Chain A
Amino acid sequence: MNAYFWLIPILPGLAAALNGLAPKATGRMAGHLAVLAMLGSLAISSMALFAALTAGHAFQPIDIDYFTWIGVGGLNIPFGVYVDQLSLVMMMVVSFVGSVIFIYATGYMHGDPGYVRFFTYLPLFTFFMFLLVMGNSLPLLFVGWEGVGLCSYLLIGYFYDRDYAAAAGMKAFIVNRIGDFGFLLGMLLLFWYTGSLKFTGLFEAAPGVFTAGGAVITVITLLLFVGATGKSAQLPLYVWLPDAMAGPTPVSALIHAATMVTAGIYMIARLNPLFSMAPVTLLVVGTIGGLTALFAASIALVQRDSKKILAYSTVSQLGYMFLALGSGAYIAAIFHLMTHAFFKACLFLGAGSVLHAFHRDTDVDVFEAGGLRKYMPYTRATFLIATIAISGIPPLAGFWSKDEILWEAFAAGRVFLWFLGILAAFCTAFYMFRLYNLLFSGEFRGTEDQRHHLHESPAVMWLPLAVLAAFSICIGCVNMPLLGYTGFHDFLHPVFAHGAAHGAEAVEENAFLASSFLSEHMLEWIFAGISVVVAVVAILFARVFYVWFPNMPERMREAFSSIHTILFNKYYVDEMYHAGFIQTYFNGCGAANWFDNRVIIAGLNGLANTVRGLADRLRRIQTGLAPHYALGTLAGMVFLVVVFLLCY
């Protein structure tokens, strides 16, 4: 089994190479080729997972070096894979959700002039994503990290003839570079101190080199976290993700919701022995995550574009995962990552199905839609399931993972994070049901011509939706601590046991929890109850606002117009960045331009003009008349004779 691991990234890589290098040959088969490659990767990943599950506690992480990738002096970085429980979970998410979305995309992108190009970039993305989650060293992870960033850029700008898509791609690329700069610095510092970049070497060396809670490890982990904020769209580098919706919808589902944006969470979970040694960093991670969760959720409350709402929802859910990481609840973060991948992919593909019915590529104003349940029953059903899942209603997947995060945050003494999380949970349930109600309930509000064209998507599109919806319902059952079943937790535990043993006491005990007369298990039930009540209240609010009293939103908007304006304009963050950074940069460019024109170019031109003026005078010496040259020769000779006579 282990001998075939290299095939997992190579299969999609081959599909990408074939489609990219021989587009004429693959042609309309490009999509099928990509799907086939993904199914191959899925099969191998599943077998690996099965082997690990049957091995149980006997399972040892697999570390295979294929060849020396970089060998210079003391630096020796092999090219190899490291497959442990964490990698297996990520590989399964990428290959399974990837396969489903690939199948959906063959229907969604059917007839698009860039069909082959699309199915070149998409397998290339999965190739890099597998590299990211399977690489056995930080540089290899970084190669995957940059590779998925590149594919993200290419796919956001897929409709390259539209200015906003090209600009959105550029924005994603540049914002990610800022984060990558921090990541690279952190990686170099790690090498400086430990002399190793392989995960196994790093984790062995770390406890001896760093003091837990020390300044060095704190700086390193903070720098790595800067990288994560870029890739996983957290404050303050989240701005690229909502704009990334300019790409085709399958891309939004796979790259900008289910897999790539979770790379930051994977990275922190992978490096958990290091992060566990830096409690300050963990506090920062958790705080940023909690703030992002609430911040993005509040923006999503009032947006009008269906994909934008889902994008802010993704930012918010990623915030939850960072909140969990920051509370030391790595497994809860990975659990939420997995459940989120299913229901968010389902939501995005559902939104794509709606776009398909509207014959549009990118945006549908939710106030233009409405009443779609009559026209698109399958899309409506799956969308509703995923919406319930993300809102945190038991027993669907989102409840288990979100509730575990909130509980772990509270149990770890991060009560303010729990509070941020529960507020965000309220917003989440509200904006998701607002979106659902606006799209599918009530009467259709678009034009008669649009209504005429509304249709359910073909089976190749709604079947993937159904698969994802099924998983959105049941995937939570792998980990139900309330009911005393913690299979997922036990499976992943070995990955995080090592770090916990060497880490600082990252989180203090919750004083309330310690002094409470209630047992911990009862409190857990109470908190789960609070989460559910909050979600149900939010859903009722959404129902009241957008179905029972359709003129309520208008009245509320008028009553709270200032708040609405701020939220609708996304807290003016883009404008602030524009004024603060971009305008400053342009001003700097202007100054540099002035310096270049007025000092460097002017100086050089002045010098050149001086030389030219001198030369203009000097050239008159050359008369072209032979007697003048002869006179010069004579004068020179006379001069030499005089010198000769004077010297001797």
Chain B
Amino acid sequence: MIGLYHFLILSGVLFSLGVLGVLLRRNALVVLMAVELMLNAANLAVVAFVRYPMFGDGGIVNAQDYAAMTNGMTLVFLVMTVAAAEVGVGLAIVINLYRQKKSVNIEEANALKG
């Protein structure tokens, strides 16, 4: 029987992979993809909570639960939209970085070094 915790563990693993990707990878495009991975891991956790409310057996019990469910799903869509916008801005930055440095290696974008 697949329960809430399975989803949460998967979400956690995906999020951690995303973090590792952001921290360790040098290719700007891969870093952006890792960010997407983190966002989607969070989305997965949110929809899991919608499907499996913490208290109760999984069905809609009352109006409060219904409200929590719709709120959660709305949040998921909001995150997807923000992610799309973020990618749009992120790709624009990557393109400009490439034009400047002829490379998408983020280690070369260190102009703010103290």
Contact = CB atoms under 8 A, between A and B. Distances in A.
Interface of A: 618-627, 630-631, 634
A249 to B, nearest CB: 73
Interface string B92-113: 0000000000000011011111
A397 B4 CA distance: 127
B59 interface: no
A622 B110 CA distance: 10
Contact of B106 (A619, A621, A627, A634): A627
9 contacts: A621-B114, A623-B110, A623-B114, A625-B110, A627-B22, A627-B23, A627-B106, A631-B23, A634-B23
Interface residues of B, number: 13
Interface string B80-101: 0000000000000000000000
Taking chain A's interface residues, is the majority helix, strand, or loop, or is none over half, making it mixed?
helix
Nearest to B107: A625
A532 to B, nearest CB: 97
A620 B106 contact: no
B19 A624 contact: no
A622 B23 contact: no
Interface string B23-50: 1100000010000000000000000000
B82 to A, nearest CB: 17
Contacts of A623: 110, 113-114
A622 B19 contact: no
Given A625-B106, A625-B107, A630 B114 contact: no
B14 to A, nearest CB: 16
A630 B24 CA distance: 10
Q: Which of B23, B112, B114 has the most CB of A within 10 A?
A: B114
A630 B31 CA distance: 11
A624 B23 contact: no
Contacts of B114: 618-624
Given A622-B113, A630-B23, 14 more contacts: A619-B114, A621-B114, A623-B110, A623-B113, A623-B114, A624-B111, A625-B106, A625-B107, A625-B110, A625-B113, A626-B31, A627-B24, A630-B22, A634-B23
Contacts of A620: 114
A626 B109 CA distance: 8
A624 B113 contact: yes
Nearest to A615: B114
B103 to A, nearest CB: 14
A114 B107 CA distance: 75
Contacts of B111: 624
A624 B110 contact: yes
A627 B106 CA distance: 8
A557 to B, nearest CB: 82
Contacts of A626: 31, 106, 109
Contacts of A622: 112-114
Nearest to B24: A627
A634 B19 contact: yes
